[in-house]
Amino acid sequence: MKIAILVFDRFTDLDVFLPWDLLSRVSRFHLLPNWEVKLVGTASHHTSENGLTIPMSASLSFLKTADAVLFASGPGVQTLLTDPSVLTQLHSLLDPKRQLIGSICSGSLLLAKLGLLDGLTATTYPTRMKQLAAMGVEVLDAPLVIHDRIATAAGCLAAIDLTRWLIQTLASQEIATKVLASVRPNGI
């Protein structure tokens, strides 16, 4: 399985690193062979909102072969929303009939801009709910909204729920439970 996390300048650190770490545990714990997680971007390196610059492990073209694509969030989403070149590339590389596609927080704005939320309900970061609604999407006040192969998560920690959905769907509930148990606090 190939999983891509879309990264861009001014991304929210937690929205990239939390799902990346959890998804990477599937292969690191030898739970599933051929499980590959890549950070995909529009450049070779991207800098987070907190100033951390990281290398990408694949270019946008990796999206074409990915089984799942997660859209990160952060202030940089606003820049991508007005970049016709990136939007055209994303539109040509994604296949919602074949791929699982999810977003964290304001990443849902990109899903809406690409038409992936047409006729669906969705969720997003609380400060972006009005912007998503203005794009014609019925916004729910919920941590996770799933419609078959499309899922939106609200709030950074909702990335845990989004990651569980992705692992359960691509692998199994048992593997998702093992991965999440590895980060659960004692006493729960």
The string of DSSP codes covering 54-91 is EE-SEEGGGGGG-SEEEE--STHHHHHHT-HHHHHHHH
**Overall domain count for the chain:** 1
Strand bridging mode 2-7 / 36-41: parallel
Is 30 inside a domain boundary?
yes
Question: In angstroms, rounded to a whole number, what is the distance separating the alpha carbons of residues 29 and 79?
Answer: 37
- pLDDT score of 187 more than 90: no
pLDDT digits (tens, 9 = 90+) for 31-46: 888 999 999 999 999 9
Q: Domain residues for 62?
A: 2-181
DSSP 40: E
Residue 34 sits in a domain whose CATH number is 3.40.50.880
Residue range 82-90: mean pLDDT, rounded: 97
- pLDDT score of 160 more than 80: yes
Output the pTM of the full model.
0.96
Say if residues 105 and 128 touch (Cβ distance below 8 Å): yes
What is the identity of the amino acid at 184? R
